[in-house]
Amino acid sequence: MTDKNETVKIQASRLQDLIKKKLMAAGLPEDSALETAKHLTYADLSDIHSHGAVRVAYYAERIAKGGVTKKPKITYTKTGPATATFDGDNGQGHYIANLALEKVIELVKENGIAMVGVTHVSHTGMLAYYVEKLAEEGYVSLSMTQSDPMVVPFGGSENYFGTNPIAFGAPRKEGRPIFFDMATTVQAWGKVLDARSKGESIPDTWAVDAEGNSTTDPHKVAGLLPIAGPKGYGLMMIVDILSGMLFGLPFGKSVSSMYNDLDKGRDLGHVYIAVDPERFTSLDQFTSSIEQMVEELHAIKPADGFDQVYYPGELAVLSTERNLEEGIDIPKHIVDYLESDTVHFDQYGNKGAFAE
């Protein structure tokens, strides 16, 4: 039996190919499987393993059981000069959300600002992936998405909101764009999955067990905690309103569970807000200011125990550079699964939000 702590080095191109083939084996068309594989590999390259290959077995099971529309009938509806909805017909979330970027760019080019609601999709993954693409086109952007109720609200004892992440991106004059992606919980649910996959414990500030007590055992998690108490609680409410309620989608405790009803679409919401900085200043001035900020942050004397002050999100950039050169550390049991003929393990259906 493979030790869950054992990892192997794998090149990004190999990982992407394995993920693509596994998703196609589950029934996903090649274009959708390829885009999802690119996305998950991006996450693992960034050392955000919570949104990488660890998710494939779940995605494969949902796809195989009919919970993802393999050939979705996408409906794009302009609701105003700079606003629109992009109904994904419960197609694979990564693929649909990436397609919607084309419409976001079209609207922001024309109007200087754009807001697009991506509706009726499955899990859309790591939001940094999308805001970085918008930043590469020269736009400042925010992206938010709702998720199933896994979080104990501040002062409460039952789960209500999801981890409801938010991401920001901005162009730079040099190097990769600035991007920052965070769950509104102390840690994303995927971080707990990552700890499970590696046989590791978690800090006692991340989550509570079924009795409401802090836990370090990722297998006993029954509720996640909002970041910074009432502040994170407020942020996750904002995300649910902007990516769910605003588009007439389920919200709060009514958001579909990741693991229940694997034969049904999840009907999740995802939103993009993009701004053209040249409607306010020159792009050169804006990106020069970004560079100045980065340089000034790097010049700050680090505190004891730190070797450098980094701008938010920079560690993911450095991880990508290293992992492209050295290979990505992935748990061996995940690589073994990807290389096997097993499509999925039939392990997630009709289980609670915190299923093994």
CB 65 within 8 A of CB 209: no
One DSSP character per residue, 125-153 reads --THHHHHHHHHTT-EEEEEE---S-BPP
Comparing C-alpha atoms, which of 6, 10, 88, 90 is closest to residue 52?
Answer: 10
CB 272 within 8 A of CB 101: yes
Comparing C-alpha atoms, which of 149, 151, 146, 101 is closest to residue 120?
Answer: 146
Structure tokens at 311: 């701008």
Structure tokens at 10: 């794998």
Question: Between β-strands 223-224 and 7-10, what pairing exists: parallel, antiparallel or unpaired?
Answer: unpaired
Structure tokens at 247: 């588009």
DSSP H helices, the chain, are 12-25, 30-45, 56-64, 93-111, 128-136, 189-198, 230-243, 283-299, 314-326, 332-339
Comparing C-alpha atoms, which of 155, 215, 250 is closest to residue 354?
Answer: 215
Comparing C-alpha atoms, which of 263, 316, 268, 259 is closest to residue 97?
Answer: 268
Which of the residues are catalytic?
123
CA separation (Å) from 91 to 12, 37, 47, 188, 219? 25, 15, 26, 23, 30
